[in-house]
Amino acid sequence: MGDVVIQTSHLVKTYVTGTNEVHALRGIDLQVGRGEFVAVMGASGSGKSTLMNLLGCLDTPTDGSYQLDGVSVEGLDRNALAAIRNQKIGFVFQGFNLLARTTAIENVELPLLYDRTGRKRDTKALAIAALERVGLGSRLEHQPSELSGGQQQRVAIARALVTEPAIILADEPTGNLDTRTSVEVMALFQELNQQGITIVMVTHEPDLAAYASRIVEVRDGRIRRDEPVKNRRSAAEDLKDLGDEEEEVA
């Protein structure tokens, strides 16, 4: 693979609780190239959440190395990790994790406000552009409570996009959504992926993994399966089949 975004080698994470040692990850070697759409699958307890936290620079590995977009992450302190999360990673969570009583624009603007690189940017304009990109140009001033679940997740995706990160990390992004809305979110991911955005999505639903271009299955802290998706599904076409009902986001 020419342009590598994620490069881990022998990534190990061990939690020590009292006298017990929990081996969450037992050596993960993973490479994700730019423009890939990877689904990380695994049952609960498989270590996929731990992997997600490590890839998201929310946690540091016990052993092994991790390079994100050419930067070695191991050994960095809290502040440096915060800066990397801010600039290189866009998070999309299961529970949306938007700030309540805060408008869509302000939610999307938030990562730009924590940018310490000193760039002078029109944060509001960038936030509006990101919201338009996910089809929420008409909901700029709405607060999360005034938006549907699908719309909230789109705001979260816009927030992930706004910093132009090297990678979007989505953790069960459709866990709180109904089938139709889930497919809509997948359609958006596929669209963004086609525009060249790298996506790593954690899911336990094989149906959703089928929209990705590659599946990585984690079990007992190791990668058990890593293969391209055969018969990749197109979310846009599935939506047509779901058809008759009106689309939620006009």
Q: Which residues contact 176 (CB under 8 A, 6 or more apart)?
A: 94, 95, 96, 149
Beta bridge partners of 28: 11
User: Shortest Cβ distance from residue 174 to other proteins (Å)?
Assistant: 18
Question: What tokens does 105 get?
Answer: 């624009």
Residues 112-143: b if buried by 16+ CB within 10 A, e if exposed: beeeeeeeeeebeebbbebbebbbbeebbebb
Cβ pair 240, 63 in contact under 8 A: no
22 binds other proteins (CB under 8 A): no
Selected binder of other proteins within 13, 133, 159, 214 (CB under 8 A)? 159
111 binds other proteins (CB under 8 A): yes
Give CA torsion, residues 124, 188, 173, 8, to 10 deg. Answer: -90
43 binds other proteins (CB under 8 A): no
Chain residues 177-236 in contact with other proteins, contact rule CB under 8 A = none
71 binds other proteins (CB under 8 A): no
Q: What is the CA radius of gyration of the chain?
A: 18
Query: Which of the ranges 107-115, 202-210, 224-232, 238-246 carries the binding residues for other proteins, by CB under 8 A?
Result: 107-115
240 binds other proteins (CB under 8 A): no
66 binds other proteins (CB under 8 A): no
Query: Which of the ranges 2-10, 111-119, 181-189, 239-247 carries the binding residues for other proteins, by CB under 8 A?
Result: 111-119
Q: Which residues of this chain interact with other proteins, rule CB under 8 A?
A: 53, 56, 58-59, 78-79, 82-83, 85-87, 91, 93, 97-102, 110-111, 113-116, 159, 163
